[in-house]
Structure 1
Amino acid sequence: MAYCVNCGVELEPSLTECPLCNTPVINPKELYQTKKTSPYPKAKGQVDVVKRKDLAILTSTVLIATSLSCLLLNLFVFPNSLWSLFIIGACLVLFVLVFPAVIYTKLPIYISLLFDGVAVGFYLYMITFNTASNKWFIRLALPIVALVTILVEIFTLLLRSFPVFFLTTALYFFAEIAFLCVGIELLIAHYLDAPLKLVWSAIVLTVCGVIEVVLLTILSRSRLRDAMRRRLHF
């Protein structure tokens, strides 16, 4: 037997409202049978992805506008020195760095790295217009840029030609660090017309040599290699 929730009068099963106070009669079972609707839409919205072409246009416009505005300021407002070449060169380097990632993604990575080295070298060459001599560029800066570019190309070639693991990557990295430090010290000595001998780079070479021996030992022993992978989680 059902009763009104408001006045407590006894109700017949067929009634839909209380005959005394007109309170609607709700069957508790109907509450579970009705479907609960969510206030949120079922379809998920998605933000439109920025097209690569639009991003390339925006990036190029920003870099070109920055270069031109600095050049005009340099020519008509602050003509004492060619300071705008620093900004123009930096924009050029940024454009070369962004080019393979935004504008032309099919460019081979080796060509991209070569363009990066050329852009950095050209930027350093633009700095020579604000210096008394370009001797530092020809005998020091340009050879260092060439050395770094070659080492990066070799490092990329090794990573793409052989299986990539943490230990092998560390092996290539420390070997190139040793070559880079030795090359920089010899180039500095050549620029200063000093004797070609190793001083500070010998310390780096020794440390890297020890690390290389340890890594080669681990890589040559499967038990050590597996133990290192388990403990370092790589």
Structure 2
Amino acid sequence: MSYCVNCGVELDASSRECPLCNTPVLNPKELNSQVWQKMAGHNTGEARTPFPEEKGQVETVKRKDFGVLLSTVILASAITCGILNFLVFADSAWSLAVIGACVLLWVLMIPVVIYTKLSAYLALLLDGAAAVIYLYMLTFLTGSSRWFWGLGLPIAVLVTAVTEALTLCIRMLPRSFLTVALYLFTAVGLLCVGLELMIGYYLAEKIALRWSAVVLTVCVILDMALITMLSRRRLRNEVRRRLHF
């Protein structure tokens, strides 16, 4: 049982038009071109459908355009905060923290959306420099630069150096799941030891290992296990088969 889509009157199974309002009766499975021509008032004999025949396509946004947009937003945020700090909220130089964060964010964004051909080593070096600049800007808020020269700058240099070394190992040495894990655990152990030594010397002028010794021990055990798996072909293949890599 069917009904007219226009007036709702009940239709016979063989009806081609509504007996009341003369609306064509359409079978969804059979879109008769002549019926659509009659509805549109065309007698040209060309088949027409109620659906668009041409497929539209939205132009994709280029990565460089996206980078320009993000750069504009970051620059506007930095300038706006600087103006507000200078004209309205002039009690402290709080805008330096925001401006430094904007600089750091923009530098981190360079190899991703602005210049993708940038060397990985140079990108990491720029990230470290941006972090140092951000930490130095914070010294104007704390009123002292002692923590920057004694702790902030050495930690930033250490993290940058360890990251550069890890990237060098991954790119230049044999690379697989096991070798990358070996490089990563080694880097984590060395980084933790360096952090504790720097923090301890800054706070108490004492060089001692406590929590980092535990982390280093775990990393050494994992490194020894990985080296053993890498040196034994059958063991290495079995681990790869079981872990599906």
RMSD (Å) for aligned C-alpha atoms: 2.2
Alpha-carbon offset, residue 47 of structure 1: 2.4
Change (3 A) 1:38 1:70: same
Q: Partner residue of 1:218?
A: 229
Give the structure 1 partner of residue 188 of structure 2.
177
Equivalent position of 1:187 in the other structure = 198
Within the candidate set 91, 103, 108, 2:114 is matched to 103
* Offset from partner CA, 1:116-154 (integer Å, 9 cap, x none): 000011000000001131111101111011010011111
Q: 2:78 maps to what in 1?
A: 67
**Equivalent in the alignment of 1:31:** none
TM-score for the superposition, normalised by structure 2: 0.77
Structure 2 vs 1, CA of residues 44 and 222 (structure 1 numbering), >3 Å: closer, same or farther?
A: farther
Where do 1:198-213 residues align within 5 Å? 198-213=209-224
Looking at structure 2, the residues matched to 220 and 38 of structure 1 have their Cα atoms a distance apart, in angstroms, of 68
Q: Distance in 2 between matches of 1:199 and 1:141?
A: 21
Deviation at 1:43, TM superposition (A): 6.0
Alignment correspondent of 1:90: 101
- CA deviation vs aligned residue, 1:151-199 (integer Å, no higher than 9, x gap): 1111111111123211111101110000001000110122124321111
Question: Residue 140 of structure 1 corresponds to which residue in structure 2?
Answer: 151
What letter corresponds to residue 216 of structure 1 in structure 2?
A: I
Gaps of 5+ in 2: 1-12, 15-47
Deviations 1:39-60 (A, max 9, x none): 7667654321112332222111
| CA deviation string 1:70-121 (max 9, x = no partner) | 1111111111111111111111011101112222222111101100000011
Q: From the superposition, tell whether residues 43 and 166 of structure 1 become closer, same or farther in structure 2 (CA, over 3 Å).
A: farther
Identity score, percent: 53
Aligned length: 202
**In 1: Cα distance, 2:233 partner to 2:102 partner:** 49
Partner of 2:10: none
Tell which structure's C-alpha radius of gyration is larger: 1
Unaligned segments of structure 1, at least 5 residues: 7-36
With 219-228 and 96-105 compared, the bigger mean Cα shift is at 96-105
SS in 2 for 1:95: helix
Tell me, in whole angstroms, the C-alpha distance in 1 between the residues paired with 2:225 and 2:61: 47
| Counterpart Cα distance in 2 of 1:38 and 1:138 | 74
Secondary structure, counterpart of 2:116 in structure 1: coil
**More relative contact order, 1 or 2 (CA 8 Å, 6+ apart):** 1
Moved more, 207-216 or 189-198: 189-198
Matched residue, 1:150: 161
**Residues 1:87 and 1:163: Cα distance change in structure 2 (over 3 Å):** same
